[in-house]
């Protein structure tokens, strides 16, 4: 239930980037963000599955590594941990009442992990699709207010130009299908 609520809040936040239509429906809009980060392993506690990482700014954080991560014993002090996080949101106006996710949230997940004996690595991803109903649009402020399948009303301001254009073309009552994707990949490179 907590994960479902998190997904709805995330969708709600991202959905605010999308919106309604004036005379003809706008073209679907998509935004994407890619974040990459490298950290160096400072210390490892295999018994408690704790790894201390030094980030690019010199800050150190200790993380607990899930038992699902194979081959933790392969990681050594000085190894580089590479993380890539990608998220995207696609928004499209749907004909009234025809979206399969109008009163629902459809979600799927994928995962992969390193083979036994290989350096630790993992990739996880998920896709969430739902449809929101536009309550109001403030084109000047690029703000859209909408309700989702949970019945909650949210208001979000579009930040990226492609979503601002999409929001400006929306109107009250439009049904907007949102497809949110996120993927996380982690790999470890031996110390050089």
The tens digit of pLDDT for each residue in 23-35 reads 566 789 999 999 9
> Number of structural domains, the chain?
1
Q: Is residue 156 part of a domain?
A: yes
Q: Is residue 90 part of a domain?
A: yes
* pTM for the model: 0.70
The residue segments making up the domain with residue 20 are: 2-35+82-189
Q: For position 192, what pLDDT does the model report?
A: 65
Give Cα 122 distance to the centre of its chain. Answer: 17
Q: Is residue 96 part of a domain?
A: yes
Q: Is residue 183 part of a domain?
A: yes
Q: Is residue 178 part of a domain?
A: yes
Q: Is residue 41 part of a domain?
A: no
Q: Is residue 181 part of a domain?
A: yes
Q: For position 24, what pLDDT does the model report?
A: 66
Q: For position 25, what pLDDT does the model report?
A: 67
Q: For position 146, what pLDDT does the model report?
A: 96
The tens digit of pLDDT for each residue in 113-126 reads 888 888 888 889 99
How do strand 29-45 and strand 153-157 relate by DSSP bridges? unpaired
Residues of the chain with pLDDT under 70: 1-25, 192
Q: Terminus-to-terminus CA distance in the chain, angstroms? A: 44
Q: For position 20, what pLDDT does the model report?
A: 37
Q: Is residue 45 part of a domain?
A: no
């Amino acid at each position: 239930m907590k994960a479902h609520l998190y997904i709805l809040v995330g969708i709600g936040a991202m959905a605010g980037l999308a919106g309604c239509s004036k005379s003809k429906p706008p073209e679907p809009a998509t935004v994407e963000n890619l974040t990459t980060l490298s950290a160096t392993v400072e210390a490892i506690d295999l018994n408690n599955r704790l790894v201390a990482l030094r980030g690019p700014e010199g800050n150190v954080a200790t993380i607990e590594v899930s038992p699902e991560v194979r081959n933790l014993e392969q990681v050594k002090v000085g190894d580089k941990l590479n993380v890539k996080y990608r998220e995207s949101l696609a928004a499209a106006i749907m004909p009234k009442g025809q979206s399969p996710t109008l009163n629902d949230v459809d979600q799927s997940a994928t995962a992969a992990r390193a083979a036994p004996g290989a350096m630790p690595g993992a990739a996880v991803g998920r896709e969430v699709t739902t449809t929101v109903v536009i309550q109001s649009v403030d084109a000047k402020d690029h703000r859209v207010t909408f309700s989702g399948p949970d019945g909650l009303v949210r208001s979000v301001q579009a930040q990226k130009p492609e979503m601002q254009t999409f929001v400006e073309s929306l109107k009250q009552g439009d049904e907007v299908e949102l497809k949110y994707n996120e993927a996380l990949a982690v790999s470890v490179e031996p110390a050089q």
